[in-house]
C-alpha cells in the first residue's frame, strides 16, 4: 500500500513525459518536470535573444539559487557547495585534491562504481597508495564490522558509493560515517544515485565530501551536478585544476585560491542547467524527500515481488534496504534483448554491464542485468503493465 500520500495525479500532470513513455529508467535520467523544462528553455531563449553573458547578468539571482537549494537539500551551508557539470567531475575534483603518499590506504566497497575505482588505481600507481576492498556482510552491503577492523593510522580515505549503479543496494552510509568520524578519517560519498531518491543529510551521514548528479533522481537537466565539501576541509584540499574562477592571479608570480567550495568549479558553465537544477531541487523539496522515498521504495518492492511471481525472472538486488533500482534476468533472454523489446513497447530500461562494477558483478557472475528504476511518478498500474510486457517477451522467446 502507498503510504506516501503523494498527489500522484499532480506529479504526473506536471511531468509531460508521463504521457509518452513508461519511464523505468530514472537511475539513467529521470523525466524532468515541466517547471524545470521551462526554466532551462526560457534561459536558453534569453541567451539567444540578448546574449549569454547578458542573460546571466539579468538572471543572476536564479543562477545563484542552486547553492541555497543544494544546501537545504543535504543540510549544509551554501558556501560548501560547488556546481559541477556531472557527478564524475564533482567526485574527481575532490578525490584528486587529496594528497596521497606511498603506503596510504584507500578503503572502498565491493560495489564500487568503475570510474571511481579506475581513479583509485591511477592514484595508487602514481603515489604508491594502496586500494583495499572492505568485504560485504551477509546481506551484500559493505560490512561495517569489517570496516572497523581494517582501520589503522595508514587509512587516508574511506570512499564508497551509496547506491551503486548496478542494483537496489543502499550501503549503510551513516554507519560508515560513524566509523570515519570516530577514527577521524576522510570520508567521500558518491551519492549520485541516492540524492533525490531519499532524504540525505550530510551531518547525519557524517561524510566530508559528497558528489551527485542532476539528471537522475533529482529530475534536473543533463550536464549538471554538484559537490559538497565540509567547510573545515575546503582550504586543505587544493583542486587538481585551477583557473581564474577557482583562483585569483594576485601578483605576477602568485595566485590565491578561493576559500569556498567554488574553488572546485571552473569559469564557464551551463547556466540554463544551473538554473534548472536549482528549480529541480526546489521541486523535490516541495514534495519532500521522505514521501518520495516511501513511494519509490514501495513501488520497487512491488515490482520485485511481481517479477518474482512470474516464475522465470530472477532478482539480483542486494542489501538490507533496497531502493528504486530493480535488477533482474529473464530466463533464456539476454538483457539487451529485454531492453530492446521493452523499448518497442514504449518502456524505458537500461542494462547494467559487468564493466560498470567489475568487483561486484564479476564475483556474482552476472555479466549483464536488466535495470529498471522507478520514481514516485510511476504508477502501480505501470508496474503491472511492465510485468505483463516481461511475460510477453519471455513467451515470445520460448516460442522461437
Ligand atoms: C554510482 C554512480 N556514480 C557516478 C556516476 C556518474 O555520474 P555522472 O554521469 O553524472 O558523471 C554514476 C552514473 O551512472 C553512478 O551510477
- Each residue's pLDDT tens digit, 126-137: 999 999 999 999
Closest C-alpha residue for ligand 1 atom 8: 87
C-alpha span between 54 and 51 (Å, rounded): 5
Q: CB 78: neighbour CB atoms within 10 A?
A: 17
Cα 28 from chain centroid (whole Å): 9
Residue 182, C-beta contacts closer than 8 angstroms, at least 6 positions apart: none
Mean pLDDT of the chain: 97
C-alpha span between 213 and 87 (Å, rounded): 5
Residue 2: pLDDT band with limits 50, 70, 90: confident
**pTM for this predicted structure:** 0.98
pLDDT of residue 358: 95
pLDDT of residue 271: 98
Closest C-alpha residue for ligand 1 atom 13: 165
Average pLDDT over residues 261-267: 98
Closest C-alpha residue for ligand 1 atom 3: 192
pLDDT of residue 102: 98
Has residue 1 got a pLDDT over 80?
no
Burial environment of residue 299 by CB neighbours within 10 A (0 to 12, 13 to 18, 19 or more): buried
Instruction: Report which ligand 1 atom has the smallest distance to the Cα of 190.
Output: 3
Ligand 1 centroid to Cα of residue 115, in Å, is 8
Rounded to whole angstroms, what are the CA distances from 60 to 65, 259, 309? 9, 21, 53
Q: What residues are in contact with ligand 1 under a 6 Å CB criterion?
A: 86-88, 113, 161, 164-165, 190, 192-193, 213, 225
Ligand 1 centroid to Cα of residue 165, in Å, is 7
Query: Does an H or E element contain 187, and which?
Result: strand 186-190
- Each residue's pLDDT tens digit, 103-117: 999 999 999 999 999
Closest C-alpha residue for ligand 1 atom 14: 165
- Each residue's pLDDT tens digit, 73-84: 999 999 999 999
Give the 3-state secondary structure of residue 228: strand
Residue to probe by mutation, ligand 1, list 26, 27, 84, 87, most atoms within 8 Å of CB: 87
C-alpha span between 14 and 7 (Å, rounded): 11
Residue to probe by mutation, ligand 1, list 94, 213, 214, most atoms within 8 Å of CB: 213
pLDDT of residue 359: 96
Looking at the DSSP assignment, which residues form a beta bridge with residue 198?
A: 195
- Each residue's pLDDT tens digit, 14-37: 999 999 999 999 999 999 999 999
Percent of the chain with pLDDT over 70: 100
Average pLDDT over residues 213-227: 98
Helices (H), the chain: 8-13, 34-50, 52-58, 60-74, 87-95, 114-127, 144-150, 173-183, 202-205, 231-234, 271-287, 289-310, 335-344, 363, 380-399
Strand ranges of the sheet holding 350-353, from the earlier edge strand across to the other edge: 313-315, 325-330, 368-373, 350-353
Amino acid at each position: 500500500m502507498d503510504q506516501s500520500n503523494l498527489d500522484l495525479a499532480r506529479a504526473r500532470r506536471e511531468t509531460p513525459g508521463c504521457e509518452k513513455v513508461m519511464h523505468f529508467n530514472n537511475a539513467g535520467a529521470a523525466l524532468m518536470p515541466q517547471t524545470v523544462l521551462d526554466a532551462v528553455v526560457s534561459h536558453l531563449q534569453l541567451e539567444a535573444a540578448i546574449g549569454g553573458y547578458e542573460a546571466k547578468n539579468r538572471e543572476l539571482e536564479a543562477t545563484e539559487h542552486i547553492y541555497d537549494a543544494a544546501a537545504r537539500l543535504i543540510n549544509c551551508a551554501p558556501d560548501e557547495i560547488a556546481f559541477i557539470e556531472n557527478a564524475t567531475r564533482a567526485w574527481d575534483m575532490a578525490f584528486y585534491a587529496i594528497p596521497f603518499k606511498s603506503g596510504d590506504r584507500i578503503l572502498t566497497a565491493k560495489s564500487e562504481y568503475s570510474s571511481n575505482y579506475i581513479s583509485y588505481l591511477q592514484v595508487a600507481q602514481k603515489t604508491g597508495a594502496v586500494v583495499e576492498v572492505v568485504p560485504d556482510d551477509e546481506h551484500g552491503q559493505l560490512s561495517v564490522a569489517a570496516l572497523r577492523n581494517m582501520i589503522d593510522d595508514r587509512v587516508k580515505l574511506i570512499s564508497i558509493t551509496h547506491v551503486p549503479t548496478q542494483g537496489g543496494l543502499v550501503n549503510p552510509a551513516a554507519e560508515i560515517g560513524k566509523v570515519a568520524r570516530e577514527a577521524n578519517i576522510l570520508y567521500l560519498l558518491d551519492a549520485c544515485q541516492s540524492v533525490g531518491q531519499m532524504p540525505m543529510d550530510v551531518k547525519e551521514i557524517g561524510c566530508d565530501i559528497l558528489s551527485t548528479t542532476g539528471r537522475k533522481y533529482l529530475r534536473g537537466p543533463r550536464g549538471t551536478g554538484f559537490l559538497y565539501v565540509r567547510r573545515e576541509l575546503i582550504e586543505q584540499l587544493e583542486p587538481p585544476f585551477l583557473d581564474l574562477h577557482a583562483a585569483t592571479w594576485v601578483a605576477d608570480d602568485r595566485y590565491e585560491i578561493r576559500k569556498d567550495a567554488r574553488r572546485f568549479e571552473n569559469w564557464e558553465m551551463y547556466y540554463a542547467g544551473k538554473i534548472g537544477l536549482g528549480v529541480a531541487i526546489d521541486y523535490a523539496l516541495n514534495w519532500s524527500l521522505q514521501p518520495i522515498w516511501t513511494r519509490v521504495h514501495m513501488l520497487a518492492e512491488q515490482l520485485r515481488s511481481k517479477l518474482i511471481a512470474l516464475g522465470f525472472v530472477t532478482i539480483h538486488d542486494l542489501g538490507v534496504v533496497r531502493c528504486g533500482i530493480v535488477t533482474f534476468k529473464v530466463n533464456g533472454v539476454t538483457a539487451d534483448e529485454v531492453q530492446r523489446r521493452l523499448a518497442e513497447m514504449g518502456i524505458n530500461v537500461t542494462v547494467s554491464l559487468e564493466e560498470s562494477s567489475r568487483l561486484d558483478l564479476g564475483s556474482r557472475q552476472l555479466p549483464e542485468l536488466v535495470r529498471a528504476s522507478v520514481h514516485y511518478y510511476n504508477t502501480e498500474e505501470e508496474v503491472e503493465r511492465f510485468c505483463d510486457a516481461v511475460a510477453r517477451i519471455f513467451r515470445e522467446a520460448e516460442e522461437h
